[in-house]
Chains A and B, each alone.
Chain A
């Protein structure tokens, strides 16, 4: 696709170059070419964007009103039946409660990230080491993390061995009951994603001019006051961005529970369920409706956040 664009751009470029030396090029063609040039650069990006983002959204909405199985040429329009099913069938609806665990984990994650970003923005020994250690999990492959923590929660695995060091012999299958399995998995997601929030906060804190702290210190402000009146307002846009990323992240958890439990013992999340509906049970229509619901929730969350924190919305619109 890129290849053809380049060719097209090159031909266009050739045409312009040929036209240039002529004393008086026909103004209409020249204007046409000038109007066309930006589009030559945008053909490939727009084609990809429409084919792989907008067309799927449109199709998905259309599928969601049908009983299509994803394979057969036959599909019937069944109105809002899929949507009714999602909100009334208890087994389908319960995946939302699983998101609650991850939502709670996000709170822990943001608080921890904020704490470590604050203390590491002051002078601390081995600062770069701690920074690296806290961030590194974010870069690790999800499947590898899944295996590392499967072993961690294994009977006689890492966690049990550590607890035994302290004289506590846990006779507890960590991934055995829905509540404990979900808490364990949500803990893994804190382990994995805390570093990203931490680095974002750290960057925001470091962009606050240092004189502010000095002035505050002269005024006798302690660390807590510095945090409360300088750091917290300074990182507000990043904080609000993190909150929204956490909410949409909590709703669309997939990798870790899929790899570690396959969605068993009540750990099935929205995305796991959708994937199973679509690709194992061939219920493309129902899966599409579920995906539309998820998309709408996420868009609603984003919208609310933009209303609440308008300054970060400005940052986003910066693209224009």
Chain B
């Protein structure tokens, strides 16, 4: 074997090894979710195939007893408002910063920038008191306002796009009698569609997966989102790994579907978001 061929083989081996490391833990959980509690008790090992590959009994249990339907409903509600709010807030901020010169503009920009350096986890002790004083604790509005309020990434993404929209468009609209708000609503916002798509995807995945904020701010069981509802599986299902696995797969599946359909946008979105 030449040196080059050897190097190529090693490269592929490392890739295959990495793929196994990623896929194996997930694959085993899928297998486990299809086993009956009888099979689990037999203790035949984690890698054995389930007797019946179409045994969806655990999924039904997880979905019903784990209150997944209400969890998906709460998550959808929060996603809708948090993303809508983020898009409006982010685009308005970007529009104001890019299209106007005003006093204290530098200060405003600095405030947003510095906020980006403060990790949310550090301030929750005090944020909690504020959310509580507004009476938002244990309501779905607590996570919504928190997700809306601190998103520098989306502001940054919008800013890049607003910049690329020629100012001559604003000016000609102004000559036609449009005011600032009409320009924002009728010209800028529609042209921001690609940016909106990016923000919706990145923010959507973040909100869907977040555990910390709903865990702290919405303790009541009726308000479980998918992460907190899944977390509660630890109690009632204890060592029933087949049910817990089914719950985990139920939660991962929507992400997988979105990922397979929107791969390219997701990579771009995260690249744009993180390299800010």
Kindly provide the distance from the CB of A94 to the nearest chain B CB, expressed in whole angstroms: 19
Structural contact, A39 and B102, CB atoms closer than 8 A: yes
Within 113-130 of B, Cβ neighbours of A (below 8 Å) are at 113, 115, 117-119, 121-130
Of A50, A199, A279, which one neighbours B216 at CB under 8 angstroms?
A279
Task: Report the Cα distance A63→B127, complex, angstroms.
Answer: 12
Kindly provide the distance from the CB of B65 to the nearest chain A CB, expressed in whole angstroms: 16
Structural contact, A52 and B150, CB atoms closer than 8 A: yes
Structural contact, B150 and A191, CB atoms closer than 8 A: no
Structural contact, B126 and A63, CB atoms closer than 8 A: yes
Please give the number of chain A residues whose Cβ is less than 8 angstroms from any Cβ of chain B in the complex.
107
Known contacts A45-B92, A151-B46, A319-B159; is-contact A141 B226 (Cβ 8 Å): yes
Structural contact, B126 and A252, CB atoms closer than 8 A: no
Confirm or deny: B156 has a beta carbon within 8 angstroms of a beta carbon on chain A.
yes
Confirm or deny: B169 has a beta carbon within 8 angstroms of a beta carbon on chain A.
no
Structural contact, B122 and A252, CB atoms closer than 8 A: yes
Structural contact, A13 and B45, CB atoms closer than 8 A: no
Structural contact, B123 and A60, CB atoms closer than 8 A: yes
Confirm or deny: A157 has a beta carbon within 8 angstroms of a beta carbon on chain B.
yes
Contacts of A129 in B (CB 8 A): 19
Contacts of B173 in A (CB 8 A): none
Structural contact, A152 and B149, CB atoms closer than 8 A: no
Task: Report the Cα distance A255→B32, complex, angstroms.
Answer: 23
Structural contact, A140 and B156, CB atoms closer than 8 A: no
Structural contact, A252 and B113, CB atoms closer than 8 A: no
Confirm or deny: B139 has a beta carbon within 8 angstroms of a beta carbon on chain A.
no
Please give the number of chain B residues whose Cβ is less than 8 angstroms from any Cβ of chain A in the complex.
98
Confirm or deny: A271 has a beta carbon within 8 angstroms of a beta carbon on chain B.
yes
* Among A98-106, A176-184, A295-303, the stretch in contact with B: A295-303
Structural contact, A139 and B22, CB atoms closer than 8 A: no
Quick one: CB contact mask for A51-71 with B, threshold 8 Å, 1 for yes?
Answer: 111111101100100000010
Kindly provide the distance from the CB of B31 to the nearest chain A CB, expressed in whole angstroms: 10
Structural contact, A157 and B22, CB atoms closer than 8 A: no
Within 69-123 of B, Cβ neighbours of A (below 8 Å) are at 85, 88-90, 92-93, 95-97, 99-100, 102-103, 105-106, 108-109, 111-113, 115, 117-119, 121-123
Task: Report the Cα distance A147→B122, complex, angstroms.
Answer: 25
Structural contact, B22 and A16, CB atoms closer than 8 A: no
* Among B51-59, B191-199, B244-252, the stretch in contact with A: B244-252
Contacts of A131 in B (CB 8 A): 267
Contacts of B37 in A (CB 8 A): none
Kindly provide the distance from the CB of B265 to the nearest chain A CB, expressed in whole angstroms: 12
Of B89, B129, B159, B259, which one neighbours A45 at CB under 8 angstroms?
B89
Kindly provide the distance from the CB of A52 to the nearest chain B CB, expressed in whole angstroms: 4
Task: Report the Cα distance A165→B47, complex, angstroms.
Answer: 9
Known contacts A44-B89, A49-B150, A70-B129; is-contact A160 B251 (Cβ 8 Å): no
Overall SS of chain B's interface: helix
Kindly provide the distance from the CB of A114 to the nearest chain B CB, expressed in whole angstroms: 13
Quick one: CB contact mask for B258-271 with A, threshold 8 Å, 1 for yes?
Answer: 01000100110011
Confirm or deny: B60 has a beta carbon within 8 angstroms of a beta carbon on chain A.
no
Task: Report the Cα distance A143→B227, complex, angstroms.
Answer: 6
Contacts of A45 in B (CB 8 A): 89-90, 92-93, 112, 155
Known contacts A238-B275, A259-B211; is-contact A16 B179 (Cβ 8 Å): yes
Most B-side CB within 10 Å, residue of A2, A50, A284: A2
Known contacts A53-B115, A157-B46, A164-B45; is-contact A130 B180 (Cβ 8 Å): no
Task: Report the Cα distance A9→B96, complex, angstroms.
Answer: 12
Confirm or deny: B11 has a beta carbon within 8 angstroms of a beta carbon on chain A.
yes
Structural contact, B121 and A252, CB atoms closer than 8 A: yes
Chain B residue at minimum C-beta to C-beta distance from A151 = B241
* Among A23-31, A85-93, A286-294, the stretch in contact with B: A286-294
Confirm or deny: A158 has a beta carbon within 8 angstroms of a beta carbon on chain B.
yes
Confirm or deny: B64 has a beta carbon within 8 angstroms of a beta carbon on chain A.
no
Confirm or deny: B23 has a beta carbon within 8 angstroms of a beta carbon on chain A.
yes
Contacts of B216 in A (CB 8 A): 275, 279
Confirm or deny: B146 has a beta carbon within 8 angstroms of a beta carbon on chain A.
yes
Kindly provide the distance from the CB of A258 to the nearest chain B CB, expressed in whole angstroms: 8
Contacts of B49 in A (CB 8 A): none
Structural contact, B212 and A255, CB atoms closer than 8 A: yes
Having A41-B184, A57-B126, A143-B251, one finds 11 other A-B pairs with CB under 8 Å, namely A37-B180, A38-B105, A53-B123, A57-B123, A116-B15, A134-B22, A143-B231, A152-B25, A164-B45, A299-B117, A317-B113
27 pairs, A vs B, C-beta closer than 8 Å: A2-B85, A2-B89, A13-B179, A37-B100, A59-B130, A116-B14, A133-B23, A134-B22, A142-B227, A143-B211, A143-B228, A144-B252, A148-B248, A151-B46, A156-B45, A157-B28, A157-B46, A158-B46, A165-B47, A191-B21, A196-B270, A241-B274, A254-B212, A274-B125, A287-B125, A319-B156, A320-B97
Q: Which residues of A contact B (CB under 8 A)?
A: 1-2, 5, 9-10, 12-13, 16-17, 20, 35, 37-42, 44-46, 48-57, 59-60, 63, 70, 112, 115-116, 119-120, 124-125, 128-144, 147-149, 151-152, 154, 156-158, 160-162, 164-165, 191, 196, 199-200, 203-204, 223, 237-238, 241, 245, 248, 252, 254-255, 259, 271, 274-275, 278-279, 284, 287-288, 291, 294-295, 298-299, 302, 315-317, 319-320
